[in-house]
Amino acid sequence: MLAETTDLPARALLAGIALLGLCLGSFLNVVIWRLPRGESLVRPGSRCPACGVPHRRRDNLPLLGWLLLRGHCRGCAAPISPRYPVVELLGGASATAAVLLTPTPAAAAVTAAVLLALVAVF
């Protein structure tokens, strides 16, 4: 599918798809945490559940934020669950796998959506 749909080199396209998947995984973390609690998915911004300190923008970078913080809150040093980077990585892997394993962009989008929904459920 990659060669037929774009002039970009396949590796660059896959890197972009993986990055998009990481971002989708990050948003999926918000959905997993807030939706069952009936909270808004948009506001307020991300914050530590232990102390309520808002996350800085760089703390919200998919995967990198967790690594930069070494898995702990900047404000109170409470541990941040490893579930967050795992869900983000699964988002990146799901998007990449969907693009590699499906014949069309539409099929890749549907496959990625189903895989991300499965990540959210489990």
CA 103 to chain centre: 24
Residues 6+ apart with CB under 8 A from 72: 78, 79, 80
Q: Is residue 118 part of a domain?
A: yes
Q: Is residue 20 part of a domain?
A: no
Q: Is residue 46 part of a domain?
A: no
Q: Is residue 74 part of a domain?
A: yes
* Domain extent at residue 110: 58-122
Q: Is residue 32 part of a domain?
A: no
- 1-49 residue pLDDT tens: 555 666 778 889 999 999 999 999 999 999 999 999 999 999 988 999 8
Cα(122)–Cα(118) distance, integer angstroms: 6
Q: Is residue 8 part of a domain?
A: no
Q: Is residue 80 part of a domain?
A: yes
Q: How many domains does the chain have?
A: 1
Q: Is residue 101 part of a domain?
A: yes
pTM of the model: 0.86
pLDDT of residue 8: 76
